[in-house]
Amino acid sequence: MLFEVRCAGCGLLGWCPCAACVEALEAPEPALVPGADSVALLFSHSGVGREFIHALKYRGERAIARWLGDSLALSHLGVTASAWPMRIDPASASPMEIDTVTWAPTTAAHRRSRGFDQAETLARATAKALQVRPERLLRRIGSGAQSGTGRSARLSGPRFAGRSSALGRRVLLVDDVLTTGATLAAATAALEGAGAAAVHVAACARRGRDRFPAVA
Ligand SMILES: [Zn+2]
């Protein structure tokens, strides 16, 4: 065997992810991202879904990154794969033209400690599946982490600035986890502020709203 691949969900040797883990994924709660033209979510951040995200986020496993990128691309195209639960916003249930795929960059501290930005890894995998070029259209403003030390930082969430190259572009914005949607809403606003023609959002895992009650 040339490559020893283990399933990111259960550790079984052979295929990542294995069919049983894909079937075990739970459907996500719906989510709104203010300002986004559409929102696609793959699965709930629970059980196997959480294992997939951890494999991507903390171990940088390539096989699961590739599979998640392919899945985000499929969800964006409105393709419902019957093999796993997938919720697609009705408004986005048809192929949409996009020019590029981008991501909301993580903090410099996270990037340093992990050696990579999992959102960028996902964006690159998704862009490859969609056969477009990924582009760095956002930069993070300020140095505070999302769960940073300052009270105001926690209250206001992350802030982003859109690059001028976003002007007129139809953008697919991808991320690994959607919790309150605040990060993706801020990133969407920044892209629109920079003149993006459309912003579609696709995230892998929806972290349940039970822990984070919806606030208007
Ligand atoms: Zn498995």
Q: What local confidence, expressed as pLDDT, does residue 93 receive?
A: 43
Domain count of the fold of the chain = 1
Instruction: Specify the pLDDT at position 51.
Output: 97
Q: Which residues pair with 13 in a beta bridge?
A: 6
CATH code of the domain covering residue 137: 3.40.50
Question: 165 alpha carbon to ligand 1 midpoint, in Å?
Answer: 40
Please give the pLDDT value at position 2.
56
Distance 183 CA to ligand 1 centre (A): 30
Is there a domain that residue 7 lies in?
no
Q: 41 CB contacts (<8 Å, ≥6 apart)? A: 28, 30, 31, 75, 86, 87, 178, 202, 203, 204, 205, 206
14 CA from centroid of ligand 1 (Å)? 9
What pLDDT, on a 0 to 100 scale, did the predictor assign at position 156?
63
- The verdict on residue 17 lying in a domain is no
The boundaries of the domain holding residue 58 are: 26-143+155-206
Question: Which value, to the nearest 10 degrees, does the dihedral of the CA atoms of residues 106, 112, 118, 119 take?
Answer: 30
Question: For residue 92, what is the DSSP state?
Answer: G
In this prediction the pTM is 0.84
How remote is the CA of residue 19 from the centroid of ligand 1, in Å?
A: 7
Cα separation of 18 and 12, whole Å?
A: 7
Bridge partners, residue 15, by sequence:
none
Q: Is residue 216 part of a domain?
A: no
Q: How far is the CA of 40 from the centre of ligand 1 (A)?
A: 23
How far apart, in whole angstroms, are the C-alpha atoms of residue 54 and residue 50?
Answer: 6
What is the 52 CA–ligand 1 centroid distance (Å)?
Answer: 10
Mean pLDDT by groups of 10 residues along the chain of 216 residues: 81 91 91 92 94 94 92 75 43 67 93 91 92 95 58 67 97 95 96 97 85 44
Q: What is the pLDDT of residue 172?
A: 96
Q: Amino acid identity of 101?
A: V
Closest residue by Cα to residue 70 from 42, 97, 94, 49: 42
**Residue 31 counted as domain residue:** yes
Secondary structure tally for the chain: helices H, strands E: 7, 8
All residues with CB under 5 Å from ion ligand 1: 7, 9-10, 12, 18, 21
Q: Where do we find the tokens 């998640």?
A: 68
Q: Is 160 a member of any domain?
A: yes
5 located within any domain: no
Domain assignment of residue 3, yes or no: no
Ligand 1 mean position to 48 CA, how many Å?
8
**Whole-number pLDDT of residue 55:** 96
